[in-house]
Chains A and B, each alone.
Chain A
């Protein structure tokens, strides 16, 4: 199947590029580490999780949120990378070659997935250093990491569509980031939805992002698991998988269609 092999050739190309611009990877890693440190030590003592304001409990609660936020930031990278590609002569070369149409985009999202995985590894080490632990065994924890990477992969397709829709890579970077703030904050990532205004609660609980955060807390055995009656909060693993697959299907279809029609 040429689709897969072409995608792998393009993924390889993007990984080589990333390795030659190491500062991009470095910033990608520093950002979530900074969030961990800021949230744990600035908010740590003032947040109530499971009826206690113990900062250690908050740190354990926080990590699933930070992990999920980190993987979604791949959106901005994918968007900027694709916007950059679309405005260079190289895209004409790709479009004039007998290669699979979606491969330029799939290759980019796969490369971003590798980068995201790398960031998650570093972040896990930092998390262990600040006192976060897994309590349900390694297989479940690996399942949680799998859900996180799937979420990151799904979000990179949203980034791809943004990258194809804007005129400059700079616009793709900021456009790829701003909407992530409401998505990641109107969720159960940093605060229990029970503490939110009642009209916000259902939004936070049905947020695709929250499903993965909840699933991670359950699988890691971390405190602060939401007790909401909402279906995604009761079945977070299934909700996380369904949301991510749905996002991939929808945004991949839209992106590939847009790429094919890009009569630049």
Chain B
């Protein structure tokens, strides 16, 4: 039986950009799928197709058991959408925003009013309920946006980069709210650029790039493919690199890599902070002066490099495009569109 969110072979092109190039997804009821990828990978386009905002060129999508392409109106009754850009009316107060959304979900005016009060309370917006959303902080707006998505307690939720741009405190707060939702049985599709976020919230993760799912699995499975934590050291003097390399080899689980021009050495390790302290003592003991040292965990870039080997090259291409200016603007616009 297909899950609460199911997609098969979704394709969408904008001009000559293939924003989605055959995306398959299957999210079992009551679980969280993290869609992980860089800007322009096709995350948002996937969400837009599944939430009826965009028609794919081909493919099949079923949400909450309803065919998205054939019965978009019925799908809209069963979903909540919360986006990267808080979708609230900034000239309306928090309360007015929630009541409006409730009524547009076809609730009676009175029911919408009651529901708005509940949500304001739950999302800690009670004190700001009568201020226009314009005066809200970024975190408050995001909470109001999420509250609007939850007006009818939809069984299926979509969150497009819910914490992008939020400070750490607000991010943690939002994570807490999301975890409560999932505990109550909501099926959630979450897009993010942060591995840490997917790690924290998602049961399963799909890594997307160039409109394709290039890897899927639990966060542990993905990390295992990327390699675990590692120590990075930047030595002060270039002629001490060889000695530093010998030191690190004694602690490492694998080969030490060296970037000569940045004087940076990286070695995979296991043992965490305790090991880091030993490395520092040893380097100090040999009289090697260091500019920087740290324990690094796998980042999205690492996942990318290990999965595709093209992350760095992609960034370079984007920079070149940005620098090239007007003549590639059309293509850029199309890509931007795809990224939306």
Q: Which residues of A contact B (CB under 8 A)?
A: 2, 5-6, 9-10, 12-13, 16-17, 20-21, 88-99, 103, 263-264
- Let me know if A96 and B89 touch, CB within 8 A: no
Q: A5-B103, A263-B55 are in contact. Are A89 and B87 (CB under 8 A)?
A: yes
B83 at the interface (CB under 8 A from A): yes
- Let me know if A92 and B81 touch, CB within 8 A: yes
- Let me know if B104 and A99 touch, CB within 8 A: yes
Number of A-B residue pairs at CB separation under 8 A: 73
What are 23 residue pairs bridging A and B, where the CB atoms are less than 8 Å apart in the complex?
Answer: A6-B104, A9-B100, A9-B103, A12-B100, A13-B89, A13-B96, A13-B100, A21-B91, A88-B87, A89-B84, A90-B87, A90-B89, A91-B87, A92-B53, A93-B81, A93-B101, A96-B52, A96-B76, A97-B104, A98-B73, A98-B106, A99-B105, A99-B106
Partner of B88, one of A16, A90, A99: A90
- SS of B interface (majority): loop
The 3 closest A-B pairs by CB, nearest first: A89-B85, A89-B87, A93-B87
Contact partners of B106 in chain A: CB under 8 A: 2, 98-99
Contact partners of B213 in chain A: CB under 8 A: none
Q: Name the distance in Å between A40's Cβ and chain B's nearest Cβ.
A: 36
- Let me know if A96 and B51 touch, CB within 8 A: yes
Contact partners of B83 in chain A: CB under 8 A: 89, 92-93
- Let me know if A263 and B53 touch, CB within 8 A: yes
Give bound CA distance, A44 to B55, whole Å.
58
Give bound CA distance, A12 to B91, whole Å.
12
How many chain B residues touch the partner (CB < 8 A)?
31
- Let me know if A20 and B132 touch, CB within 8 A: yes
Give bound CA distance, A90 to B83, whole Å.
10
- SS of A interface (majority): helix
Give bound CA distance, A2 to B77, whole Å.
14
- Let me know if A16 and B92 touch, CB within 8 A: yes
Give bound CA distance, A95 to B92, whole Å.
19
Contact partners of A263 in chain B: CB under 8 A: 53-55
B245 at the interface (CB under 8 A from A): no
B264 at the interface (CB under 8 A from A): no
Q: A2-B106, A96-B53, A264-B340 are in contact. Are A17 and B86 (CB under 8 A)?
A: no
Q: Name the distance in Å between A214's Cβ and chain B's nearest Cβ.
A: 39
Partner of A16, one of B74, B76, B77, B91: B91
Give bound CA distance, A2 to B106, whole Å.
8
Contact partners of A103 in chain B: CB under 8 A: 104
Given contacts A93-B88, A96-B76, A98-B74, 5 further A-B contacts (CB under 8 A): A88-B87, A92-B87, A97-B101, A103-B104, A263-B54
